[in-house]
Amino acid sequence: MASKKPENMSYEATIEELDTLVNQLENGDLPLDDALKTFERGIALARAGQAKLNDAEQRVKILLSDSDEAALSDFVESDDQSEV
């Protein structure tokens, strides 16, 4: 089964898979090639998770803006996933 792209996964699913990959790597039972692929997937998941957190933080800041006279601005999703 092909893995979903990290940017298309929910934050919770991203963290769950990342946790599984970390456990696999910590066990040390993977052959080198598999360990490298697992590590690469983990990095992609970590970056996607961080981008999701950054997006959520931006949205919260917009919502909690305490100035009633602050100019409204559009939410802009980050493109950090393109580095993966």
- Within a domain: 80: no
Number of domains in the chain: 1
pLDDT for the residue numbered 82: 46
Q: The domain that contains 47 carries what CATH number?
A: 1.10.287.1040
12 vs 66: which has the higher pLDDT: 12
- Please tell me the pTM assigned to this model: 0.71
pLDDT digit string, tens, across residues 21-66: 999 999 999 999 999 999 999 999 999 999 999 999 998 888 887 6
How far lies 21's CA from each of 27, 28, 49, 52, 56, in Å? Answer: 10, 11, 14, 19, 24
In which domain, by residue range, is 37 found? 9-62
- Within a domain: 24: yes
21 vs 68: which has the higher pLDDT: 21
- Within a domain: 18: yes
- Within a domain: 84: no
Do residues 51 and 16 lie in contact, with contact meaning Cβ atoms separated by under 8 Å?
Answer: no
- Within a domain: 35: yes
* Residue 80 pLDDT class (50, 70, 90 cuts): low
